[in-house]
Amino acid sequence: MKLLSEAAISRRRFTMLGGAALAAPFVATRALGQEAAVFRIGYIGPQSGPLGIFGAHDGWLIEQLRANLAGGIEVGGKHMQVEIITADTQSDPVRASQITRDMINSAAPDLILTHSAPETVNPVSDACEAGATPCLSTVAPWEAYYFGRGGQPGTQSFKWTYHFSFGTGNFLNLYSGQWSLLDTNRRVGTLIPSDADGNAIRAGLLPRMAEAGWEIIDPGPYENMTQDFTTHINAFRSAEVDIVVCFPFPPDFPVFWRQAAQRGLAQRMKIMQMAKAGLFAAEMEALGNLGHGLCTGVYWHPAFPFSSAAAGLSNADLGANYEAATGRQWAQALGASASLFDAALALAAQSGDPKDKELMAATLPKLVADTAVGKVDFTAGPVPNCTVSGLAGGQWNMVSGERFPFQLDLVSNADFPEIELTADFRPLAFG
């Protein structure tokens, strides 16, 4: 009896042991992270789910980054290893928030990077703001990021979270510049759904386009997943528009465009300008002949005359190496993801000590970085926490005899005068 009671663990002792056991992993990772001088970057994006296409290149890119950064970096006279940890949002905003909190609590990253669509960057950024972890994000209109998270212009709304991407101003610049290259009747039909992006575009962009001298024919907002676009097509046909601009939920676009071709609208139009849809070659391949000549905004292209320091490659090599290694065609998301890491390394260097989160947060508003998508300069605005990256004008052209059936040509460069165009802008021609 006596022996037993000595060997048995008392309730108080059990609680102490259990508490220590639970706390040990956290204490250990934090302690280790401090000693080994590792700059730990958390990379959170959609790798599966409906937005998964934006993360399709992640496997290759992360490998390339790890290989290039294997020797570590020099920061403030100190040598540091770089560690990249990744997490998949599964395209779900709730899960995005959850895994960000988990990552902050369990791995204590010094910086979190996130990308692609407000459904990803907003919840991840909110979780970083709450968890006092610096965060950089890209590829979501900055208005959707800033106003969607309750940002107030004129004030420092967020301390930890910063975003660089295109915005409605880019679209105005791009469209006015590119459409003026062709001789049209300047009548523009708009296909804009009643969702968050659509409402922002309708309120922000259309009035400014009208001011710029384009006659806007807007049949009104529609619901995503609409299966029949008769109303829009008839309105465009009777107004004899030469140009249609759309911001659809991507699966809706082929439905609209095939119906437009069935009713003879597509055959008499000159420009079909897409945003949100049309970013990926796979979408064009799904359209077949109907994809030839469609236009889209381009936020990264292998022909952009920049390079990615983090990947150790010029943009041209980034695209070519990706295609050679994976057998898949390059996509804009590849360069955008690389640019996040370029900005991250620049931030580490400019802060002097990436392990000091307060210092990192204080450096973010002053960050100026050369990245794969061009110069990112947070001192430039338009609001605190956000800066605008550029958009070039792209046109999908069918090519024969090449490895991939569609190629994205650069046909206008309103935002980047230094970009060399790869083809002339041509009006739609089929039927």
Partner 1 sequence: MLEAILQGVLLGGYYAVLAAGLSLMFGVVRFINLAHGDMAVLGAMLALWLVQVMGLNVPMAIALTLPAMGAIGWLLQRLIFERALRGGFLIPILTTIGLAATLQNGMFAAFGSDTKSLGAHIGSLSWASWHLPGDIFLGKLPVYMFLTALVVLGGLHLILTRTGFGRAVRATASDPEAAALCGIDARRVHRGAAAIAVALAGLAGIFLALRAQVTPFSGPMMLIFAFEAVVIGGIGSLRGTLIGGIALGLAQAMGGMISPQFSILAGHCLFLAILALRMTEAAASERGGWRNTLTAVLFNRSQIKGRLS
If one asks whether residue 71 binds partner 1 (CB under 8 A), the answer comes out as no
Cβ closest to partner 1, residue 221 vs residue 365: 221
**Window of 93-101, 251-259, 358-366, 377-385 that interacts with partner 1 by CB under 8 A:** 251-259
Distance in Å, CB of 112 to partner 1, minimum: 23
If one asks whether residue 86 binds partner 1 (CB under 8 A), the answer comes out as no
DSSP annotation of 415: S
**Residues 80, 261, 334, 338: which binds partner 1 (CB under 8 A)?**
261
If one asks whether residue 50 binds partner 1 (CB under 8 A), the answer comes out as yes
Task: Please give the residues from 381 up to 400 whose contact with partner 1 meets the rule CB under 8 A.
Answer: none
Q: Binding string to partner 1 for residues 159 to 198, with x set by CB under 8 A, is what?
A: -----------------------------------x----
Distance in Å, CB of 288 to partner 1, minimum: 3
**Window of 15-23, 199-207, 215-223, 417-425 that interacts with partner 1 by CB under 8 A:** 215-223
State the Cα–Cα distance between residues 38 and 114, nearest whole angstrom.
Answer: 20
Q: Are 212 and 176 in contact (CB under 8 A)?
A: yes
If one asks whether residue 204 binds partner 1 (CB under 8 A), the answer comes out as no
Place of tokens 């009643």: 194
Q: How many CA atoms lie within 13 A of 295 on its CB side?
A: 27
If one asks whether residue 266 binds partner 1 (CB under 8 A), the answer comes out as yes
Task: Write the DSSP string, 321-386.
Answer: HHHHHHSS---HHHHHHHHHHHHHHHHHHHHS-TT-HHHHHHHGGG-EEEETTEEEEGGG-EETTE
Distance in Å, CB of 255 to partner 1, minimum: 5
Q: Checking DSSP bridges between strand 295-298 and strand 271-274, what pairing results, if any?
A: parallel
If one asks whether residue 94 binds partner 1 (CB under 8 A), the answer comes out as no
If one asks whether residue 231 binds partner 1 (CB under 8 A), the answer comes out as yes
If one asks whether residue 93 binds partner 1 (CB under 8 A), the answer comes out as no
Distance in Å, CB of 409 to partner 1, minimum: 20
Place of tokens 């975003």: 163
If one asks whether residue 227 binds partner 1 (CB under 8 A), the answer comes out as yes
Cβ neighbours of residue 129 closer than 8 Å, sequence gap 6 or more = 135, 158, 159, 160, 161
**Window of 32-40, 45-53, 66-74, 354-362 that interacts with partner 1 by CB under 8 A:** 45-53
Q: Are 380 and 363 in contact (CB under 8 A)?
A: no
Distance in Å, CB of 129 to partner 1, minimum: 29
If one asks whether residue 330 binds partner 1 (CB under 8 A), the answer comes out as no
Of 156, 157, 119, 158, which is closest to residue 141 (Cα–Cα)?
119
Place of tokens 């569609």: 406
End-to-end CA gap in the chain: 95
Distance in Å, CB of 283 to partner 1, minimum: 5
Name the residue type at position 249: F
If one asks whether residue 290 binds partner 1 (CB under 8 A), the answer comes out as yes
Cβ neighbours of residue 203 closer than 8 Å, sequence gap 6 or more = none
If one asks whether residue 280 binds partner 1 (CB under 8 A), the answer comes out as yes
If one asks whether residue 326 binds partner 1 (CB under 8 A), the answer comes out as no
A 10 A CB-CB count for 370 gives: 17
Cβ neighbours of residue 91 closer than 8 Å, sequence gap 6 or more = 46, 48, 49, 50, 51, 52, 119, 120
If one asks whether residue 223 binds partner 1 (CB under 8 A), the answer comes out as yes
Cβ neighbours of residue 367 closer than 8 Å, sequence gap 6 or more = 162, 343, 346, 347, 350, 376, 377, 378
Task: Please give the residues from 296 up to 325 whose contact with partner 1 meets the rule CB under 8 A.
Answer: none
**Residues 37, 38, 52, 316: which binds partner 1 (CB under 8 A)?**
52
Contact residues for partner 1 (CB under 8 A)?
48-50, 52-53, 56, 91, 194, 219-223, 225-228, 230-232, 234, 250-252, 254-255, 258-259, 261-264, 266, 280, 282-283, 285-291
